[in-house]
Every structure is written in structure tokens, then in C-alpha cells.
Amino acid sequence: MTPHIPNGAEHEVVVTGIGLVAGQLTDPEALFDHLAEGRTLITEHPLHKEWGVPCAVSAHIDPAVRQELADAVPEEAGPLGSAGVLAWHAAAQAWQRSGLPRRLDSERGGVFLACNRMVMEPAELTALADHVDHEAGALDLDGYLERLDGTAAPDAADGLDPQRYQKVQPDSATAALADYFGAAGVLETHADACAAGGMAIGSAYRYIRSGTLDVALAGGAESLTTLTSVTAFYGVGALAPADGRDPAQISRPFDKDRSGFVIGDGAAFLVLESRAHAEARGARILATVAGYAGVTEAVKMTSSSRDGADYAQCMRAALTDAGLAPEDIDHVNAHGTSTEANDTCEAAALHTVFGARAAHLPITGNKSAMGHSLANSGAAEAVLSVLSLQRQTLLPTLNFTEPDEVTSGLDVVTERRPARVTAVLSNSFGFGGQNCSLILAEAGGARP
């Protein structure tokens, strides 16, 4: 099966490099092997119990690994926050593996980063509160920023990083990557909730397919296993409580006993190129991006229509974009958050789109082992989908033992499975109705 490139699409889009950071692992193949063995990244967080949050587990970056990555960032990359450091490492790894020169120095290169805006932690909120005039209902933001950078009172920065404001802006990392790799033709920073990683890749794909760009660095990074984020997600009922359970058994996509997602950190990037550009320089082509759809709906802030209609629309739009039929898909990398609402919507949509074939279409939920790294999750799952195509192997979904009424009838993969894989549908469905489906296919030959 060779994906058909629709009329008006001038350039086939290929993947020539991948990079990833997750848990204690700092390369994609190591993560793939880890997951294939049925192992998890979800462990007790060293600070969550101290904070007193009921969901004291996460798929966080190991503190020693995080420090090593921070130390490895070159000075010329500029100041980067916690998510930016992860982004830089995964992006640099993908770029190096692609075989591109250290600097592209071309307006036909771009950077597409997915990262939700970082939230303020308790020490920062306390410092900010000193600049609130409650009677007037006003915030002296200039005074706060001056205090951070020390221009107003050098001895009163309260131990906060003077570059904190710059570092927490996601577009700071986008600009830093573009400057470092000389790829500033198009810069985009996506904050489309849990769909952002897929949408960043999808946007880059469209720029290359249209002929506007030759090369794009596209992916996501997230570092939100923090007190404020964990408290907020637990407050809306999205996080699974630990309840004394083994951390490895808490995330349960599509299982009847699922109780919420487990939050995670991480970063993942792909280097995308037009096939002509990649072949002209003799690059190794890992896969193609065959189709993409980004669909916005607004049923409810934290869930979509329970009949799966919105998710089904998104999947069908991606198939149409790729010129493929449902029977051309060999594997689904599901969003599979392990929340009751999301899994219900996605399972219903899979039944709608694939009909009776859903019972024989292998489905994997990577978040069962990796947790949910929000804006990064779609990028990480795209990288794993590329490796499934490369290795002709499907990864297992941990903790799936029994379906409920809606998730019944799906072929949820529970052990590493060798399989003929030519095309993978990778889904990402976000809070607020941001929905995304990517189709990744074998490297193949030239399009018909």
C-alpha cells in the first residue's frame, strides 16, 4: 500500500530523524524496547507525597537525568526552562540522526513546538502577591518583573530565577531551537492542550506538502509534574488516585476499572522533509506522514460527545487527507488516556469508523506505561508509531484485563505483537475539543 497524495499536494512528506526523552530514557529505541517488554515509566514522584496530593505517582523525568540534560545544553542555545531543556535534547537528537548539517541556514526550514504554557508554582505566586493592590484590584506586573530581574531591588528577588519569565514562555524554546539550527522560516508554538504535539507535526506536514518548507523540526515538550498542575488536574477529577496501588497498575486505557490518567513529563521530536529534499541529500527515510486532520469542537471543556461522533469525524478527515480507506490502516495508536470519558468517546469512534473490522484492528494505548505528557503525548506517540513501522512490531497496552460496554469488541494489544504494519493511525484528543489524527506510513517509494 502506497499512500495517495491528494490533488494540490506538491510534495510527499517523510520522516528522517526522531528524538525522545522519557523517564530515565533518552533515546527512542531504548524506550520502545522498554515498553515492548511490558515495563512502565510510572513511579512514585519524590515530592508528591510530601505535597499531600492523592495521586502521588507520575511518569516524571528522573531528577538525575534532568540534571544531565540541563548540563548538556550549550550556552548558545540560550536560557531554557524545564520543558525547554527537554525539548532541546529531543530536538537535537532528532536533528543529528537526520544527518542534516549543524545549521540549515535557510528560510525553507521551520520549527513547530508543542508546549502548554507553564503554570506558576507556590513560591512564584507568593512573590507575585506582593505586587497586588487588592483595594484597587490591580497588579503591578512591571514591578514584579523588575523584582525578578533585580533592576528594582537586587537583594529582593526571593531566590527566584531572574530569567524565569522568559524561560516559562513556550515560544522562547521555539525561537531558541530555530536560532540554534538555522531554521527560522516558519515558527509555531502550539498549546492545543493534549492534541498539541500531533497538531505541531500536522502543521509542519502541511507547510512541507504545500512546498513552502523543505525541512521542519516538529514535536513537543512538557514538564508539568508540579504541585500546581497536579493539584489542578486532580481538582477537575482527571487524575487517577494512587489509593495504595502499585504505580505500574494505575493507568488502564479502555479497561472497565480505569479511574483517570497519570501525568507525565517528556519531549519528542521528528525531523520532517519533502521526499525530494531528503533523497537529494541521500538521507535515510524512516517513514512518511501520509495524512493529518485537526478538528475543533466545543461540546464540553473536559469531554466530547459520548457517541464518539467528533472523534470519528477527525479520523475520517485524516483518512481522506491521506487518500486511504479504513481498511488500509493496520494499527491504531490510541489517545487512550485511561479516563472514563475519553476512552468511551474514542472506543465509540473506532467502532463507528472501522465497523466490524474494529474487532481485528490492533490498538495500543502507550499512556498505560508512559503516562500522559499532555502537549508532548502526540509527538511521543508519533515517534513510537514510526518505530512500529520500522520494526513491524506492536507495543502492548498495560493493565487491560476487561472492557466495559463501549470498549468491548476492540482488539487491544496486551503483549508485544509482531505484525505487518504499513500504516498507523495515531490519535490525540485534547481538553476543550482540540482533536487530531495523524497517519504515518512506511517509507515506501515515490507517490503514484
Q: How far apart are CA 428 and CA 375, in angstroms?
A: 9
Which candidate, 38, 48, 55, 47, places its Cα nearest to that of 260?
Answer: 55
Q: Is 335 a catalytic residue?
A: yes
Q: What pTM was computed for the model?
A: 0.91
Residue 393, strand partner residues: 418
Q: How far apart are CA 113 and CA 84, in angstroms?
A: 10
The predicted-structure confidence for 294-326, as pLDDT tens digits, reads as follows 988 866 655 666 688 999 999 999 999 999 999
CATH top-level class of 13-117+169-441: alpha beta
Q: Where are the domains of the chain?
A: 13-117+169-441, 122-165
The predicted-structure confidence for 215-253, as pLDDT tens digits, reads as follows 999 999 999 898 888 888 888 888 998 888 999 999 999
Q: How far apart are CA 206 and CA 6, in angstroms?
A: 12
Half-sphere exposure at residue 377, Cβ-oriented, CA atoms within 13 angstroms: 35
Q: Is 48 a catalytic residue?
A: no
For residue 50, the model assigns a pLDDT of: 82
Q: Which of 48, 331, 335, 351 is catalytic?
A: 335
The predicted-structure confidence for 21-70, as pLDDT tens digits, reads as follows 999 999 999 999 999 999 999 999 988 878 888 788 999 999 999 999 99
Q: 268 near 382, Cβ under 8 Å?
A: yes
Q: Is 436 a catalytic residue?
A: no
Q: Which of 194, 314, 345, 436 is catalytic?
A: 194
